[in-house]
Structures are given as C-alpha cells and as structure tokens.
Structure 1
Amino acid sequence: MDVLPLDSFIVINHTFLNDQNREVLSLLYQPIMGSIAFNLYVTLWGFIGNENINHYDIVNTMQLKLEDICKAREKLEALGLLKTYVKKGDLNEYIYELYSPLTAYEFINNPILDTSLFNNVGKKAYENIVNKFSIPNINLSEYKDISKTFRDVFSFTQTKRINNKNIVKVKHLGLDFEPTIDLREVLGNIPSELIDYKSIDSNTRMLIYQLALVYGYDNKTMTTIIEDSLGCNKKIETDVLKTNCRNYYKFENKNHVPAIVDREQPYAWRSNTNGGSKLDLYIKELEEASPKEFLTSKNGGCEPTRADLKLIEYLLIDLNLKPGVVNVLIDYVLRINNNKLNKAYVEKIASQWIRCNINTVADAINIAKGENKKKIKQQSKKLPDWLDKEIKSDLMSEEELRAFEKELGVGIND
C-alpha cells in the first residue's frame, strides 16, 4: 500500500530507548537493516506522544524520500522492531508500535540474526562486535559475596497500590518467517524410544525452524542432526544442536559458513545517492546483488561453476573484500579477459585494490577505469605475436572503454 505524505500516524511505545538498546541497535541491528532504518527507529521514538502529525513530518525530519522511508519501515517490521496498522480512508491513518530490540545475548543466540550479522560485516568485525558484548571471565572462587539484600538496606510499610496497568512494559516481537521444513515429519522419523517428545517446547521448535532456514537443511538432514543432538535424558540439547548444525554445514561446504557468496554490500559501505543516472543505477545494481547473483546474471542466468564460487569465497573470506567490490572486480575482469575469471589475474588486481583500501563500489569503479586507461597509454609499441596472444585480452580497447563508460553515463575524460 502506497503511503501519502498527508497520511497521519501515531506512535505507540512498547520500549525504552536506553543506552544499552541504542548500542544493540547500532552495533547488531544496523549492519543488517542499514542506517536509514536505524534512524527511522530513533525518529519514530522521538514522535511518541505527538498528535496531529503526518508522514510529511518524517520526510522533513529525515530529509529522505517517502519511498526510502517506507522501505526502511519494512526492514524494521521484518526484524521485529515495529508493528504497523492502517485504517483506510480518504487519508489513511497509521499506528506504529515500537518494540524493544533483543538483548545482545538473545540476538547472538538467534541463528537467523546472528548469521545475518556475520554475513553483513565479515568474520573479523563480527568477532570484534561479539567481544564487545562479552563478560570478562573472572574466577570468583577466592572472593566472598558481601552484597546487601533489599531488606538489609530499606524498610517499607504496606500501602494500597495504585493502578499501574498502563505503565509501559518492554515488549519484543519475534521474527516472522515461513518454515522451510515439516517439523511433524522431522520428529516423526525419530524413534520414540530415543526422544522425549513432551520436552520439545515452543522455544526448541522455533530454534529448529531457524536453524533449518539458516543452513538450508531439508527434513531428512534435520532428522539426522536432531538425533545426534539428543542427550541421555532423551531431550534435545539446544547448544549441541546448534554446534552440530554448524559443523555439518562446514563439513559439507569445506569449512565455510553459510551463504558467504550470497552476501550483499554492507549498508555502511553503500552510496547515499538517489540519482537516476546510468552510473547511479549501475552502482545500485552492484550494491544490491550478491556476487553469486551478479555472476549468475553475467552467465546469462546459469549458476556459477564450483571453481568460480570458490574464487568468490576466497575474495570475500581470505582477502576480506566487500561484496559490491567483488562485483566490480568480476565485471571488470570479465570485460578485459574474454569473459574468463582467471584466479591468478583476479588475485593480482584484488591485491592492488586492498592496498588502495577500496571498500565502496564507486571507488572500485574509479580505480578500475583509471587502471585500464593507464595500461592503454603504457602499451605504446606492438607486442610479439606469441606474447600478444597471451595478454591481448588484459586490456579493453579505447573503443571498448568508451562503450563501457557510455553505458555508465560518464565520459572517458571524467
């Protein structure tokens, strides 16, 4: 449903925006949902208690297009931070219910959110974030707890309590997603003498659904993993289940974490342009497509080969290139190397980009364009035939470069 600037709204508070919540939103949620959604959450919180306001007030406050704000709102909804209701009329009326983010512990122990964070920030940044929320491991065996209790310090007399049922309570929304497995079938395939079905509560069922979604497991695979995660008391040990799911995936995928090749450019490294030029649209395409998706499109819809996927994983994991930068690298090499992704050649260019600290799509495009022009100028004399056959594809011709830049809507001398 399209939202109009004059459509009114009110914000209902189901949260407290304290320092801890801000830190969780900033470090854990923001890499997944992006800065616009983060700012929208804070902006809506600022509108709590306001009356006679409409969506133009949000547009005016955030200085963004309403379309971008609505997309950000959907991300908040998908992450369980916002619930939206609408009453239709000549001008629609909206109710936005703000919900608290999960605690850091709850977030990191949620397989879907945890994996999404890892895929957006990479291994090193992920470890730094998790360490920030970790509690120092101090041995208290030689210490004595001397803390006072409430009655040790305070005294009180019983009085009649006032009605406080409308006081704000912190509430969380769960992630809303479609299950990818039939849990009844998964559990039904496990002999009853091995498992205590009554011990499987709603939290365990939700965890199984989440793990199956994150790792892409089918009914048969989840049955096997659950069987291996049963304790001597016939109950599913959830920590063991999570470990087994991860280990099984790493074994099947040669020690790689899930969906690495499906990562998109992190929002922190995306451009803020809303322009409609060919270059802007090209940048947006490279930012919003994962390397696997982009290479599939370059292959005319055919899935990349195992060798190409291994190369992408190498660029993302070992060289720690951003997904959007990998897309530019793929496009550049395919154009100048007869549609072939030679690992040694790709690695050579990637190493240069790393030294130049290339993190954004725009920077990658600029360095690729500049490097190709430099090579054309340096190649001033004709090469021997035998050598020309080896490296003639390493350069775009002047005509090809002009055509490429025309496609982007920029000039060769820009």
Structure 2
Amino acid sequence: MHWKEILPSNRYIAYMSYNWNTSDHEVLTLLYQPLIGSLAYSLYMTLSLDVQRQPSKKVERTHKTLMTSTGQHLDHIFSERKKLEAIGLLSVYREKIEGEFVYYYHLHPPMDASGFFNDDLLSVFLYNKLGSKEQYRELRQYFSVEEVNTGDLENVTQGFNQVFTSIHPSEMRSTTPDMLEMLSSSSPLAGRKASDSHYNFAEDGFDFQQFISYLPSFIPKAEIENTKNQRLIYQLAFMYKLKPEEMAHLIQDAMLHSEKLDADQLRIQAKRRYRMNEQDEPPRLGLRIQPEELKSQAGPPQTQEDKTIQYFETTAPIEYLEELSDGARVYEGDIDIIERLIFEYKLSPGVVNVLLDYIFMVNDKKLSKALAFKIAGHWKRKKIKTVKEAMSLAKKENQKRQTFQEKGDRPSYQKKSSSSAQVRKEPLPKWMTDNNWKKEEASEQELEKAKKEAAKYREMLRKKKQQKEES
C-alpha cells in the first residue's frame, strides 16, 4: 500500500528542464493517454502546468496539495505516478530530511510523434490499445508531414560567414569582466536531450549477462553491448516475451553474415518467432501479476489460505482464465474483459483472479461481461485492493446469495428470466465455503485427496463439455 512509502505530509519538489509547446500537448493527449489512461495523464498535466508557471521551472508542495488539486486519494496518485515513471515521463528521487522523505519529481518531455511511432514498443501497444487499423492510420496521418524532394533542386542557402562578419578588434577591447563572466557561465538552461523522453527497463526483467553467455564466440560482444543495441534487445525481449537463450539464437540469425547488428533484421526474426508461438495474437501491454505493494504474503505460505492467496497474487489473470478453461486458448472477448477490469475499474490483477473464480462458480462457468462489470463496480466502490480483501468480500456475497436462494429471491445482477424457476447450485471453492480450512496446514493425505477431487471435478466438466458439443 502507498502508506508504506508515501504520506500526504511528505513534500515534493517538481521540476523540468524544457519549455512546453503545442506539439507536446498533442502527443500526450493523442498518443500517450491511450496507454497510461486519463488519471495518469491528468497527474502529469497538473504537475507540469504547476511547474511551468514558476520562473525557475521548479515548485515545492506537499502531497496533500496534490490530492486537493487532482481530487484523487493518495493511493491512486501513487499508482498513477508509477505509470508516468514506467513510460519515461517522470523520474523520482528522494532524500530523508529530519526523519521525513522529500521527493524530487523530474518531469520529462514526451517523445515527438516521429520518435513515438518509430519506437518498437509504444507503437505496437498503441495500435493494439486503439483496436482499429483505421484509428491508428488516422492518428499517424494527423502527425505526418509531406516532404519535399530537394535532390534535383539548386541549394542557394547563404552560409553564416556569407552574411555576418567576425567581431572587429575594437569591439574586443570593450570587453568587460562582467561580459566575460556572463559568456563563460555554465549555469543550466532550458533545453531537451534525446534521452529525456526515453523510458527505462528494470535490469531484473531480462538477464542480460546470461544472454551474453549464450552467444557464440564469433559474435562481437562490443557490438551487442553498446547502449543503442542493448535498449533494442530489452525492448524486443519484453514485447515478445523472449528468454535470454531465445534472444541469443535471434542475434545469431541476425548477425550470421555481418559483424554489425542489423536492427531491422532482428525485429523481423523476433516477430517471426513470436508468430510461430502465438499465431495471430498480438503482444499486449498490461499488468501481469499482483504488484509487490499489494501482496499480503511476507514469507512462505503456512496454511491452505496462504497458498491460495499466494497463487492468486503470482498468477496473471489471463493465465488463470486459461487454467479455468482447462488450458484452452482464451477468447478475445474475455481478454478484453480482463483488460477493462484492470485499466478501467482499476482492480489489481490478484483481485481480478478472485473475481473470475467467483463468477465462474456462480454463473455456470461462464464469464459474463455485465456480471463482471457489475461486481467490479461494487468492489471498486468498496476500495478492494488486496486478494485477501476480495476473498473476504466474495464470501460475504456468497452467503447473501445463498440466503436469497433459500428465500426464493436473488440479487438483481444474478436474476434470470421467469422461465428459469429452478435455481442451479454450482460447486464453490473451498476458500469460500469452509471456515476451518485456513486455521492449520493440511496433511499430506488431505492434499492428495484434494488433488484427486479436483481431477475428478475437471473430468466431470470435460465430459459435460463433450456432451454439449455432441448434442
């Protein structure tokens, strides 16, 4: 949770080293906002406009002020801030002064449109986020310019020394110490560096040294380790989910006849390998598992409840949905539901797993969009952040549901047509129905029995599915 790291009373110093222009606003709104969402976009705009109003391009405030100006709770600000960091719009530093942390927020300019569309990661994720080739083409067309071919034209541009003359010696004699001091000043000035707009990759996401160890001796290591090529390798490994050994094979193929790394050839090889494994499924941008600050487990799991919580926290929702579907490929519409639960309803991945498990059990193994969003809206209003909170609320909802069923009534989001008079009872997960299971560690015999029951249940579902297909 945010309170472990940041408090409303903590001060922050926001600053930037560039001047805002119209193009920045267009790129942020049209290109960055679909990726980071409206809240992160609003946070960046709030910080940058506050800084821009200051002559020194620097401002000091408390996070309480930021909460007031954005209308957001601090936990929301904290989670949205991380998106700005990840995409390269913000760098965060801190120091401890008199027992409290002071944060430094260095705001970076967005990439220009050319850099964004030429970026291997951002362009692909924008395309998939928009979900339409026409929309993507329309955006790209908006930022495109028509170049004029000057190859056959005569260049009559005047050179600097053709227009200006050098300083006359008499002018040099009028130089004063103040003038020399001003001309030689090294104080920082507003301006942009090419690296200002770059997002970074955490080194623990891809083991670069292990990747290097897989390369054969004929590959020049210096060519691979230069900054530009390293960044490309990190990008492709992230986007196409490549392991160090797989990336080493791609590098070999791309450098088979040359000592220079052909970036375009490496991209082609990476796409080809990805398509062989994933068919036509495009790479997607999204949170994979429960963020560290929202995890409940501090150590190894001791009880069955701990193990279930750990499982929900360390499994991506799409992977969990595959398991619920007996390993079948997840339907595109279901993936869209999961993404909306995470990005629109702001549910953490672990909480989404609990929600999926609950819906599958109460809705005859069907993932209903309306039901998912109805429950998600309720959980969001209840400020459910952790797996433990979600499981606790799901138990209460299930108890209410059973009470409604016994009385012949049901919650509004679970009502069916009047023709469905019979109430169908679905088997529920043990974490929802058994209050004793979390108190002590299960024995080996109990675990073995549970595995057999689970296998038996999966077989029953498989037979039902087969019967439906045959009928």
> Normalised by the shorter chain, which TM-score bucket?
0.5 to 0.7
Confirm or deny that 1:196 pairs with 2:220. Answer: yes
- Structure 1's 204 and 96: CA in aligned 2 closer, same or farther, altered over 3 A? same
Structure 2, unpaired ranges of 5+: 173-179, 289-311, 343-351, 379-410, 426-471
Q: Deviations over 1:214-265 (max 9, x none)?
A: 21112221122112212643211011111221121012211222248x689x
Q: Which has the higher contact order (CA 8 A, sep 6+)?
A: 1
Give the counterpart letter for 2:17 in structure 1: H
Q: Which residue of the partner structure matches residue 192 of structure 2?
A: 170
Match of 1:338 among 351, 364, 367: 364
8 Å Cα contact 2:240-2:274 kept in structure 1: yes
Q: Return the alpha-carbon distance in structure 2 between the equivalents of residues 128 and 364 of structure 1.
A: 33
- Structure 1's 248 and 87: CA in aligned 2 closer, same or farther, altered over 3 A? same
Q: Which residue of the partner structure matches residue 6 of structure 1?
A: 9
Match of 1:376 among 414, 417, 421: 417
- Structure 1's 55 and 364: CA in aligned 2 closer, same or farther, altered over 3 A? closer
Residue aligned with 2:61, SS = coil
What is the deviation of 1:127? 4.2
Residue aligned with 2:68, SS = helix
Q: Return the alpha-carbon distance in structure 2 between the equivalents of residues 101 and 19 of structure 1.
A: 12
What is the aligned-residue identity percentage?
Answer: 25
8 Å Cα contact 1:6-1:56 kept in structure 2: yes
Q: Write out aligned runs for 1:322-401 (5 A).
A: 323-324=339-340, 334=360, 338-339=364-365, 361=373, 376-377=417-418, 379=419
Structure 1 stretch displaced more, 239-248 or 118-127: 118-127
Q: Which residue of the partner structure matches residue 133 of structure 1?
A: 143
Q: Return the alpha-carbon distance in structure 2 between the equivalents of residues 258 and 155 of structure 1.
A: 58
Give the counterpart letter for 2:22 in structure 1: D
Q: Return the alpha-carbon distance in structure 1 between the equivalents of residues 125 and 43 of structure 2.
A: 20
Give the counterpart letter for 1:68 in structure 2: H
- With normalisation by structure 1, the TM-score equals 0.64
What is the deviation of 1:78? 2.2
Structure 1 stretch displaced more, 330-339 or 93-102: 330-339
Q: Return the alpha-carbon distance in structure 1 between the equivalents of residues 245 and 319 of structure 2.
A: 29
Q: Deviations over 1:3-50 (max 9, x none)?
A: 333332322222322122222222222222222221222222233246
8 Å Cα contact 1:333-1:339 kept in structure 2: yes
Q: Deviations over 1:354-378 (max 9, x none)?
A: xxxxxx9469999xx99986x614x
- With normalisation by structure 2, the TM-score equals 0.57
Give the counterpart letter for 1:72 in structure 2: E
Residue aligned with 2:43, SS = helix
- Structure 1's 340 and 225: CA in aligned 2 closer, same or farther, altered over 3 A? same
Match of 2:32 among 29, 33, 51: 29
8 Å Cα contact 2:28-2:110 kept in structure 1: yes
Confirm or deny that 1:100 pairs with 2:117. Answer: no
Q: Deviations over 1:334-353 (max 9, x none)?
A: 57873257xxxx9xxx9xx9
Q: Which residue of the partner structure matches residue 89 of structure 2?
A: 81
Match of 1:60 among 65, 68, 80: 68
Q: Return the alpha-carbon distance in structure 1 between the equivalents of residues 232 and 8 of structure 2.
A: 40
- Structure 1's 42 and 325: CA in aligned 2 closer, same or farther, altered over 3 A? closer
Confirm or deny that 1:16 pairs with 2:16. Answer: no
- Structure 1's 168 and 340: CA in aligned 2 closer, same or farther, altered over 3 A? closer
Match of 1:208 among 219, 226, 233: 233
Q: Which residue of the partner structure matches residue 228 of structure 1?
A: 253
8 Å Cα contact 1:120-1:263 kept in structure 2: no
What is the deviation of 1:180? 4.2
